[in-house]
Amino acid sequence: MKSRNSSSTTLVDTPAAALKVAQNNKRGSSSLKNRGKGVVKEGGGEGDQSEQQVHIWTERERRKRMRTMFTNLQALLPQLPSKADKSTIVDEAISYIKTLHQTLQALEKQKLEKLQGLLNLDSEPSAVSVITTSQAATPQLPFAVAADQSWPSKPFPPPSMITTSTPPSGFQTWFSPNVVLNMWGEDAQICICSAKKQGLLATILHILEKHGLDVVSAHISSGHHRCTYMIHAHAGGGSCGQFPESSLSVEDTFKLAAGEMNLWLLSC
């Protein structure tokens, strides 16, 4: 009986314990579910937080780059104080760029004067031939033309089209050992004689393009050891090219281009 009572006690106690265990298991499963939901919610929060951190980092880097650029720009403007706001830096930069452009124009004029001194371009131009009424259709060349050379086919205007404001129709000639420049108005003939040099034609065209001079026609004669270039160039309405606001006249532009060609030939 004692053993039976003990066994019955055990049997009575066992369901209670089982019930308690079942309740604990149920609580554990619900807590696990809640924990799982919490993990999912926590994961979504981490995604939003990471995007926000990326946005903050991007904005911080952008501001850092802006500060660096303004610092570099301020370093190029020596007249600015160390503590200048951004609007002042931008205004001073615009003013400084205009000043540099004026300085560039002055240096271009000095360069032209030095080229004139080097190439004897400061001498009075010689009007080699003057176009008269009977010569308007066929202008005289200021030098002898070889048999293998040709004159550009662009027709000259008849005398009736020439107004009183038109400059003299005679050639104005400047020359150097390798380059001869003949000008009339906004057109010019550039004659270049040189030993064969690699890249000479490309350099000539680059110089003309740099000064905004259009090539109307070009004739090239090549021998065994030398080449002759005859180029008809047009100024196309004045100064243009890389420096559209340059104050150089058409005449000075042609002379500057011819001087650069001659310097390139002498330096090679």
For residue 181, give the H/E element and its range.
Answer: strand 179-184
Report the 10 Å Cβ neighbour count for 91: 12
Task: Give the C-alpha separation, 63 to 153, whole Å.
Answer: 62
Compute φ and ψ for 194, nearest 5 degrees. -155, 160
**Whole-number pLDDT of residue 233:** 93
Predicted local confidence at residue 158, as pLDDT: 45
**Predicted pLDDT of residue 1:** 42
Q: How many independent structural domains does the chain possess?
A: 1
If phi > 0 it is left, if psi is from -120 to 50 it is alpha, else beta; for residue 112 that is: alpha
Does residue 81 lie within any of the structural domains?
A: no
Q: Give residue 243's domain range.
A: 125-267
pTM of the prediction? Answer: 0.41
Q: Does residue 118 lie in a domain region?
A: no
By C-alpha distance, which of 207, 203, 212 is closest to 245?
212
Q: At what angle do helices 200-210 and 250-267 cross, to 10 degrees?
A: 150
pLDDT of the residue at 26: 54
pLDDT in tens, the chain (268 residues): 444 444 444 444 455 555 565 556 555 555 544 554 444 444 555 667 788 888 899 999 999 999 898 888 888 887 777 788 888 888 888 888 888 888 888 888 877 777 766 655 444 444 433 333 334 344 443 333 343 444 444 444 443 433 444 555 577 888 787 899 999 888 999 999 988 888 888 999 999 998 889 999 999 998 888 889 999 999 875 445 555 545 678 888 888 888 888 888 887 7
The answer to whether position 255 is within a domain reads: yes
- Specify if 26 maps to a domain: no
Flag whether 42 is in a domain. Answer: no
- Residue 89 domain-assigned (yes or no): no
155 belongs to a structural domain: yes
The verdict on residue 12 lying in a domain is no
Q: Which candidate, 180, 243, 175, 247, places its Cα nearest to that of 213?
A: 243
> For position 9, what pLDDT does the model report?
42
DSSP string of the chain, one letter each residue: -HHHHHHHHHHHHHHHHHHHHHHHHHHHHHHHHHHHHHHHHHHHHHHHHHHHHHHHHHHHHHHHHHHHHHHHHHHT-TTS-SS--HHHHHHHHHHHHHHHHHHHHHHHHHHHHHHHHHHTTTSPPB------STTSSSPPPSSPPPTT-----PPPPPGGG--TTSPP-S-EEEE-SSEEEEEETTEEEEEEEEE--TTHHHHHHHHHHHTT-EEEEEEEEE-SSEEEEEEEEE-SSSS-TT-TT----HHHHHHHHHHHHHHHHHH-
pLDDT at 89: 86
Distance of CA 222 to the CA centre of its chain: 36
